Every structure is written in C-alpha cells, then in structure tokens.
Amino acid sequence: MKFTLSWLRDHLDTTATLGEITDALNRIGLEVEGVEDRGASLSAFRTARIVSAEQHPNADRLRVCRVDAGAEQGFGDVQVVCGAPNARAGLSVIFAPPGTFIPGSNITIKAGEIRGEKSGGMLCSLRELGLGEESDGIAELPDNTTPGQSYANFAGLDDPVIEIAITPNRGDALAVRGIARDLAAAGLGHLRPWLAGTVEGIFDSPIGWDNRFPEACPMVLGRTIRGVRNGPSPAWLQERLRAVGLRPINALVDVTNFFSFDLGRPLHVFDADKVAGDTLTLRRGAGETLRALDGGDYVADAEDCVIADANGVQSFAGIMGGEHTGATEQTTSVFVECALFDPVRVALSGRRHGITSDARQRFERGIDPALPVSALEAATGMILELCGGEASEVVQAGDAPRWHRSAALRFDRLRTLGGVEVAPDEAVSSLEHLGFTVRRRDDQGAEFEVPSWRNDIAMPVELALRADDTTDPAPVRASVAAVEAECDLVEEVLRLRGLDAVPAVPLLPVSPVPLPALTARQARAALARRLLASRGLVECVGFSFTSCAQAALFGETPDTLRLLNPIAADLDQMRPTPLATLLPAAARNAARGLADGALFEIGPGFGHPATPGDGGQALVAAALRFGHGARVPGRPAAPVTLWDVKADALAVLAALGVPMEALSVTADAPSHYHPGRSGVVRQGPKTVLARFGELHPAVARAVGLDMPAAAVELFLDAVPDPKRRRKGAPELPSLQPVRRDFAFVVGQEVTAEAVLRAARGAERSLIAGVSLFDVFEGGTLGEGRKSLAIEVVFQPRERSLTENELEAASNKVMAAVAKATGAVLRG
C-alpha cells in the first residue's frame, strides 16, 4: 500500500515529521517497506532567472549567462556557462549550485572555468534531475517564477511516498483513512472528521439492477450521471495517482481509483450510452468471453460473479471491468457502481483467471459494509465537481448484510496473554480511538461493539446471544469466536502501545535435548537415498501410477487400486512397486544409446503382498542397473548380474543398522525376477526386507529393454529401528586375524546360507566373519552334489592362538557344518 505524506495529512491532523510517522507505523505493526523522498534528493536545486545570455568568446555553442538564483540564498548574481540552445535572457530555469549531485548524469557540480570563462553552477534539464526524458535544452519554468525557491517545493516534489506491507487480515489498512485512524489511535495526532455530502438525484436512473446471484453480491448500488465532460483530471489528482504507481487515465476513471486508495472503497464506472438495455444483471458466468480493461480476454464460468447487460458480460464483479463499456474522453453519461462482493468468491475468481487488480486486493480482504452509500455520494460529488453534469436517484438491489459484531476483553488477559501490564482505562481508551464502542464494562473487563471496517475481529451478535443455549450447536462456535475476538482485542491494545514494547518470551523447551527433526521413516529414506547415490545410481522421481498392463508385470492389479479419473488413459493404475516406472525409464534411456545405466527411486508401492504398509501402501527404495559395466583394458565388459544389486541391498541394510548376521536369503523372489537368479532377503522367517535379482527376460522385453537388467526393492517400512547402544570408542583388536578356507561337499538342496550360518555359530567368541567365495558342481563330485568353499576369520582377543587352539576351532567349524547340513570336508 502506497500513499503520500500530504494525502495522509488530509485525514490526519498531525505535526509529526516523516521519521516519526514511519517509526510509528513500524511500531503499530504496519511495516514500512520503503520511503521515496524525491524532495530530499532534489533539495539543492533552486529556481532562477537568466538575466543576460552572451555568446562565449571562445566557443560557438556556449553562452555566458548571468543568473539570478536568489540573493537570500547567497546566489544573487552567478555566472554560468551553458550549452543549451534555448538559454536566453528572461528565462526562468532550474539552477544547481556547486556541490550539487546531478542524478540524471551521475556527476557532482564543481565551480571552475570553461574555455576561459568562469562557471559557478549549472542550468539543468528535467532529464538531469531524473524527472524527464532526453531534451535538447534546459527546463523552462513559468515566467512568473520567483528566483531562489527550492525547486522540489516549487514543483510539488517534496511530498514523500510511503509504502507499507499489509497483512491479509487488515483490509482497512488498504485505505489512507484507515492508516490515519491507526496513527491517531497511537497518539500521533487526531483523525480529521469525514462526512460525504448528499447529492440529490433529479431524475430516475435509466439503468437499474437485477441481482440473480445474492450469494456473491448481497448489496449493490448505482446511479447515472448525465451531461459529464470527461477529460484529464486535475494536476493534484494526477500527481497523487502517479505517486502511488497508478497511471492517470481520465477524470471519471481517476475518481474511482482515488477512492480505492483514499477510503479503500473500489468503484466502477460504465459508459451508460454503451450499456445495452436498461438493466445491469449480477449473475453467474456462462462461458462468455470478456475483453477486460487490461486488454486480456477471459472466459467467465459458473463460479464467477459477473455484471452483464443485454449483450453479455461487461465486468468481472469486484475484479475488473470490461473494455467495451469503459469510460473514455468521449463519455457523456456514466453509471457508477458501488457494491459489496463476497471476499472468497472474488479471491477464487481472480486466482482462476490470473487477474490481479487493486479492487480484487481490497474485496478479498473485506470491504467496510457500512460505507457503500457514503462512498457513492462522495464519488458522485467529485465527478460533478470535476466533470459537471447532473445525477439521478440511487438504484439499489439487495440489503446491507448484518455486520454488527461484539467482542469482550478481560483485562487480565493483557498480562497473561500479552505479557504486558496495561491499565484498564488505557486499554478501553485505545480501543475507543480505533472506533470500538463500549457496550458494558466492569472491574474485570468490557464488551465492545466492533466497528464496521474491522472485518478481522468477527464475533457475530447472533452467536453471542445464543451462547447460553445448550440445545444449539452454536455455543461451540460462539466460544471459539469469542476467544479469537478477545485475542484480537489484546493484539490491538498492545500494538498501539508499540509491538517493540512487548517482552520477548522464549517458548519452554519440551526437553533439554532437542527432539529429532525427522521421523525414523524419514531418516531411513534419507539415508537410503544418500547411500544409493554414493554407489553411482541416479535418482528418479516418477508418478505413483502407471498403466494397468504395466502394473500387471509386477503384481496384481485389483480394482481398488484403479483410478476412476486418471490424468491420462495410460496412467490408470496405482503402481505395486517403483520398478514399474523405473523400468520404462531405463528402456527409454537405452533406446537413446545409454549402454550402461543405474537408476533408483524412493517412493510408495501399493497393494502388493510383499509391500505391507498403512492402507496397503509401503515406502520402497527401488534400484535398477542395466547394460554392461565399463570397458577396461585386458577385461571384457561384463553384464550386470544379481550380485551387483545384492551388494546394493546389503550396503543399504547395513547402513540402516540391520545386523547382517541376522539376515538370510531365500530363493522365492516374485515372478518379475529371473527364477534362478534372484533372492529375497529376510530377517527371521517372516520379515521381508528386500528382494533382488536379474529381471525376467519377458518383463524386460515387454517394456522394450533389450539388454541385461537387475533390480532390487528395499522395503524401508519393514526395516526395524536399530537398537540403541552406548556410544563409545570401538573395540579394535590388537592381534592379527587368522583366515582358514574350508570346502564342503553337500547335496544340491543345501543352501550356502545354511553352511554359513552353521559355521558362524560354531565358535562365536572367536569367529569374526564367514563368507562364501566359491561354488563348484560336476567333475568328480558326481550328480546331485556341489562344493561350497567358505572363508572363516578367527580373531584372537587376548593372545595369539597356538596351533592346537586353531586346530580345535577348525574342528568345531567342520563338526557344526556337518551336523547342520550333512556336509563332508572335500578332499
């Protein structure tokens, strides 16, 4: 919200300086965003008169001027060398004495000599003052200009422009009068009285109202003014509009813009001769196109409130008028509209169509419902004063809404809620200065009638009267509204005393140690994301839905997960796993020449039996590797295998704190994996933490991926929270470990996991690790037999192992494996 200092003083009787006013605005919560004081930057420039102008003896294009710049200011007779072609005797000009900074040229004037002639200043053009465009000569002032005046004061440029930030609840502060009222209540002067005179109508308006959309417009007024002479508005009005960033258009339009800022009351004028028919109708839009005043074309739908004549829509109600019926300099008869529009509907319509206007900004924050009649009279009076003509009777549709509200304040709440001791008399006086009227008062508190312009303090009287009726649900709403209204009153009292006077009170900490910012689920997802990225995979973000045929490759497609209104025909099913969207992405990249790739996504999977979660939704970290590894000298590029993705899975689970010794791998991966080259990572017999393997060739071909591919799905919801352990220095053994290899011959049905588990449990206090490093079948082993070679790491703790101790430990390993699997040591 912008306004000038002189405009503010039209409503505020004060002797406060600009600095005191801006300080007060900040103190009462109307934050000052900037002050443009053109007078300060132009304070050194003076009005002057050229007494004589002679040709420069040493330059054809220069003149030596004798200038009267005001004897009282010490520049009564100054010699200035000037190159302007219009410099002549008797001309009133703008003079810059030595030491003046010239904003348009970015220089500072100094006294000196030009071609041998002394020059004690500069005669300026408006461009050099930063006020106009390029010109061939110096600025020419009126002949009767008195030398020695401040040019900023002479030109009316010493009127600072103040810009403040407005919060969404303070629609009343979008009016200069509303700002003046706040400053007066804060003790910075007195609010000047304002009362619009009544203009008697001398004929019946030829245009009337038909309100078919009272939900959007409860009340609308209007009147016709005929015989107007439209043209440019007076200089004072144009200057005020320019100062707040508006372009003057013509007197009729400028009057409506003036009252939008002066009273916060948007108005609109229709060229009455261009209105088709004798009625303006407020109704819903019906698909018509409106060419608005901003030159844009907008299609009105059924949720928009429009003003239409017999030819169709002529205005978006409360937002912007139409170009066809707009007032021009040829307008001789005008119809002035003044209405109350529903704030929510105005906001939604403006947002849908992307229209921003001063009217919308005010309507969506709430307009003073008691102001329309007075505002229409004031606007009529100004139009008659500036444009002449005669006014009709006022025509009206609807009635003013019941805006009367009350709010109660308990005086002790100023201390308990606001933290400030305020005397009851001071609190009541502050609210009265803001326009609140005391209805009842005692030692404990007071009840006030809320003024019409404070829409943000809402406690409807009908709710207050029914608050004691226990048979009606209104008491609950009334109680909530009463508490909110009381808080608003506390805020009003405190801000008028100064928000900087409210003591800063820190919130009580919930615990001495700050609580974690992320939930365990969020932390797991973030850690998995970082680890997969560190392993060379690129993160993708896909839709949570795909085609039904695509989803069927990865699981069932129940109707409960079918979209009734998909954004596209091929995105009609919630995906069972992020692989359903990762695999087509890999195929598209491979088709464009990517020979090897690695993608991952962390997102939801829906409805698959292996993705348990809330409502059948689970958080899944899916990774996909495809193609071949990098080619290096001496070694061919190898295709990706299940071992690559198994390493990804185990690395993530280890980082998430899952104990590796508690994991087992089973060969029951779902059908979209290769049946002999896949597995499922479990913790215990039931908890599935991950599944991995090479993708089934049929699945890869179905999406057009013609190269090896392997994937892993980690179910982050199933990962248990790590057990809390005492933090301390890790135990690092000082002795070297001893490694022994064992090759066991077992049946084909025996899994490597069974052998590893048996070996690991043979001597837990001594064995630090067990790993499989070779699998051999065929040869002399015979049919149905295989050799599993494992490495066992013995880690002594207190002393080195003797040969006998090492032999005993090895025997325990062989015995444990033989007992668990029937294995024999390979010879």
Report the b/e string of 151-185 with b at 16+ CB within 10 A: bbebbebbbbbbebebeeebbbbbbbbbbbbbbbb
Domain tally for the chain?
6
Q: Same structural domain for residues 101 and 8?
A: no
**DSSP for residue 791:** E
Task: Write out the two tokens for 217.
Answer: 């417009």
Task: Write out the two tokens for 396.
Answer: 């009206």
Q: Are 758 and 772 in contact (CB under 8 A)?
A: no
> Which residue matches tokens 């090896």?
708
Q: Same structural domain for residues 533 and 662?
A: yes
Longest dimension (CA), the chain: 125
Residues 6+ apart with CB under 8 A from 145: 47, 49, 92, 154
Q: Are 160 and 20 in contact (CB under 8 A)?
A: no
Q: Residue 36, Cα to own-chain centre: how many angstroms?
A: 27
CA distance 406 to 16: 34
Q: Same structural domain for residues 580 and 668?
A: yes
370 burial (CB, 10 Å; 0-12 / 13-18 / 19+) is middle
Task: Write out the two tokens for 235.
Answer: 């200089």
Domain boundary among 718, 747, 769: 718
CA distance 566 to 18: 59
CA–CA distances in Å: residue 512 to residues 395, 506, 515? 68, 14, 9
Closest by CA position to 302, among listed 222, 365, 216: 216
User: What CATH number corresponds to the domain at position 638?
Assistant: 3.30.930.10
SS3 label, residue 60: coil
Residues 6+ apart with CB under 8 A from 40: 160
Domain boundary among 376, 398, 420: 398
Q: Same structural domain for residues 65 and 143?
A: yes
Alpha-carbon dihedral sign for residues 616, 617, 621, 624: positive
Q: Same structural domain for residues 368 and 293?
A: yes
Residues 6+ apart with CB under 8 A from 425: none
Q: Residue 49: phi, psi to the nearest 5?
A: -135, 135
User: What CATH number corresponds to the domain at position 167?
Assistant: 3.30.56.10
Instruction: Work out the angle between the directed axes of helices 176-185 and 18-27 (0-180°, nearest 10).
Output: 80
Q: Same structural domain for residues 226 and 103?
A: no
Residues 6+ apart with CB under 8 A from 743: 774, 787, 788, 789, 790, 825, 826
- The one-letter code for the residue type at 330 is Q
Q: Same structural domain for residues 25 and 48?
A: no
Q: Same structural domain for residues 29 and 46?
A: no
User: What CATH number corresponds to the domain at position 436?
Assistant: 3.30.56
- Residues of the chain falling short of pLDDT 50: 459-471, 610-615
Q: Residue 383: phi, psi to the nearest 5?
A: -65, -45
Q: Are 286 and 302 in contact (CB under 8 A)?
A: yes
Instruction: Work out the angle between the directed axes of helices 752-760 and 803-821 (0-180°, nearest 10).
Output: 140
Indicate the helix (H) or strand (E) that contains 334: strand 333-340
Q: Are 347 and 366 in contact (CB under 8 A)?
A: no
Residue 233 belongs to some domain of the structure: yes
CA–CA distances in Å: residue 795 to residues 220, 738, 798? 91, 6, 10
Residue 329 belongs to some domain of the structure: yes
Alpha-carbon dihedral sign for residues 295, 300, 306, 309: positive
pTM for this predicted structure: 0.60
Q: What is the per-residue pLDDT for 613? A: 47
- The one-letter code for the residue type at 659 is P
User: What CATH number corresponds to the domain at position 89?
Assistant: 2.40.50.140
Q: What is the per-residue pLDDT for 781? A: 85
CA–CA distances in Å: residue 255 to residues 1, 4, 294, 653? 18, 17, 18, 71
Residue 275 belongs to some domain of the structure: yes
Write out the residue range of the structural domain in which residue 808 sits: 738-825
Q: How many separate helices (H) and strands (E) can be counted in the chain? A: 21, 42
Closest by CA position to 645, among listed 611, 680, 620: 680
SS3 label, residue 184: helix
Residue 456, marked binder: yes
Residue 196 belongs to some domain of the structure: no
Residue 731 belongs to some domain of the structure: no
Q: Residue 454: phi, psi to the nearest 5?
A: -100, 75
Q: Residue 344, Cα to own-chain centre: how many angstroms?
A: 19
Task: Write out the two tokens for 692.
Answer: 């991995």
- The one-letter code for the residue type at 449 is E
Residue 761 belongs to some domain of the structure: yes
CA distance 742 to 755: 11
- The one-letter code for the residue type at 797 is R
CA distance 305 to 310: 16
Q: Same structural domain for residues 562 and 709?
A: yes
Q: What is the per-residue pLDDT for 630? A: 67
Domain boundary among 354, 374, 398: 398
CA distance 18 to 37: 10
Q: Same structural domain for residues 477 and 593?
A: no
Residue 262, marked binder: no
Residue 598 belongs to some domain of the structure: yes
State the pairing for strand pair 405-410/445-450.
Answer: antiparallel
Q: List 597's β-bridge partners, or say none.
A: 626
CA distance 234 to 71: 34
> Which residue matches tokens 């006086």?
429
CA distance 119 to 100: 14
User: What CATH number corresponds to the domain at position 747?
Assistant: 3.30.70.380
> Which residue matches tokens 């009726």?
469
Q: Residue 46, Cα to own-chain centre: how many angstroms?
A: 47
Residue 491, marked binder: yes
Residue 725 belongs to some domain of the structure: no
Q: Same structural domain for residues 540 and 495?
A: no
Task: Write out the two tokens for 460.
Answer: 């409807």
Q: Same structural domain for residues 550 and 624?
A: yes
User: What CATH number corresponds to the domain at position 356?
Assistant: 3.50.40.10
